Amino acid sequence: MRNVKHLLRGALLAAGFHLLAAPVAAQDAVPPPYCEALLRAASLADFSDRIASAETHYDLNIAYRFAVLKANAALDIAGPPPEGAPGRALLELHLRAHQDIVKTAEIMGLAPALSGISTDAFAERDAKIRAGIRALSCAPPGWREKLEWALMIFYPVERLWDVERMRPVMLWAICFGMIAWARRRTKRQENLPAITIIDGRDEGRIPCNLPAELGVGDMSVSLRVLDISRHGCRFAMARAVDLPEYAVITLPGGVQRHIRQVWQRDQTGAVRLLPRLSEEELELVMEENGLRAADPRRSADFSQAAKELLSTEKERPRVFGAAPEFR
């Protein structure tokens, strides 16, 4: 399967390189002199079409006249016509007709000029010139011609679709492939492990309900600490107050810390303690919540209730889409 993917990528790269390199090659290729004369003669149709659509003015007539002069100059240096191209006599006659249209539009007006454009001979000569351009491959290939080789890939499918008995089979194969792809994608999603969010704190949180004061300038804001660890805490306020990024918090037991706000949403938020609490300070704070450590000198010897809370907090899965957590 991997080799097939590599082959498809290589084919796409080759196709892109071909499409990008084709215009450069077309620009570098110098058309033969007779092609230049044919292209100049064919470009005059733009001016005659504008006159046929009742558009004539001084600037258009000047541009039309100069285009006819350039076409005559290109024909003079073109040389003998190659095989499959219209002869010089046809080109000279067509350029003379364009020149007459220009003079008629300048002197007599639009209505007499239309008589020379609407003749069958004029349209026949223009068609022969365009056929000669295609026969000599004078014009650079367009994007449709560049993609013709890619459309050949679907030629066998088109031939099969022409057979009426094969159409139900092809439709069934397409539907079966889509169903198989959907089932495979669903099975792959089911086999993916649950995505968890790693807590930004090094230690587990301890759910609590502690009073605290946050100093904001000359005023203080009362709040309740909902969970706490040595690195930070999550809080709730009685009313929404826009807190600064840095402030001072006073926890139970007289423990004070500078804090940095991590996030705040209306009446709830989370802060990081700077610096983090020591084990003794955390024990002192948690006395207000009825949780004491058996031995303050050991970081792992919290009380049995605190240990249960810690283990529950660590094992609780957090998935995307849950409430915002402290990060």
Q: How confident is the model over 281-307, as pLDDT tens digits?
A: 888 888 866 644 334 333 344 344 444
pLDDT of residue 282: 85
Q: What's the average model confidence in pLDDT over 212-224?
A: 83
pLDDT of residue 41: 86
The C-alpha atoms of residue 226 and residue 208 are separated, in whole angstroms, by 5
The C-alpha atoms of residue 228 and residue 235 are separated, in whole angstroms, by 9
The C-alpha atoms of residue 280 and residue 320 are separated, in whole angstroms, by 35
The C-alpha atoms of residue 235 and residue 210 are separated, in whole angstroms, by 9
Q: In 10 A of CB 206, how many CB atoms?
A: 23
The C-alpha atoms of residue 68 and residue 96 are separated, in whole angstroms, by 9
Give percent of the chain above pLDDT 90: 2
The C-alpha atoms of residue 99 and residue 97 are separated, in whole angstroms, by 5
pLDDT of residue 324: 42
Q: Is the pLDDT of residue 94 over 50?
A: yes
The C-alpha atoms of residue 247 and residue 107 are separated, in whole angstroms, by 89
pLDDT band at 238 (very low <50, low <70, confident <90, very high): confident
The one-letter amino acid code at 139 reads A
Q: In 10 A of CB 211, how many CB atoms?
A: 12
Q: Mean pLDDT check: name the lowest of 196-210, 225-239, 312-326.
A: 312-326
Q: What's the average model confidence in pLDDT over 136-165?
A: 71
Q: What's the average model confidence in pLDDT over 257-265?
A: 86
Q: Mean pLDDT over all residues of the chain?
A: 73
- Both tokens of 265, joined, read 């949403």
Q: What's the average model confidence in pLDDT over 218-243?
A: 84
pLDDT of residue 197: 43
Paired residues of 255 in beta bridges: 251
The C-alpha atoms of residue 258 and residue 250 are separated, in whole angstroms, by 9
Q: Is the pLDDT of residue 178 over 80?
A: yes
Q: What's the average model confidence in pLDDT over 306-310?
A: 47
Residues in Cβ contact with 22 at an 8 Å cutoff, skipping those fewer than 6 apart: 141, 146
Q: What's the average model confidence in pLDDT over 295-322?
A: 43
CATH of domain 206-315: 2.40.10
Q: In 10 A of CB 317, how many CB atoms?
A: 9
Q: For the chain, give the secondary structure using H, E and C.
A: CHHHHHHHHHHHHHHHHHHHHHHHHHHHCCCCHHHHHHHHHHHHHHHHHHHHCCCCCHHHHHHHHHHHHHHHHHHHCCCCCCCCCCCHHHHHHHHHHHHHHHHHHHHCCHHHHHHHHCCHHHHHHHHHHHHHHHHHCCCCCCHHHHCHHHHHHHHHHHHHHHCCCHHHHHHHHHHHHHHHHHHHHHHHHHHCCCCCCCCCCCCCCEEEEEEEEEEECCEEEEEEEEEECCCEEEEEECCCCCCCCEEEEEECCCEEEEEEEEEEECCEEEEEEECCCCHHHHHHHHHHHCCCECCCCCCCCECHHHHHHHHHHHHCCCCCCCCCCCC
Q: What's the average model confidence in pLDDT over 83-105?
A: 82
Q: Mean pLDDT check: name the lowest of 21-35, 164-178, 277-291, 311-325.
A: 311-325
Q: Which of 54-58, 113-117, 213-217 has the highest mean pLDDT?
A: 213-217
Q: What's the average model confidence in pLDDT over 174-201?
A: 74
pLDDT band at 325 (very low <50, low <70, confident <90, very high): very low
The C-alpha atoms of residue 49 and residue 59 are separated, in whole angstroms, by 15
The one-letter amino acid code at 194 reads A
Structure confidence by residue, pLDDT tens digits, 1-51: 455 566 666 666 665 555 544 444 444 444 567 888 888 888 888 887 777
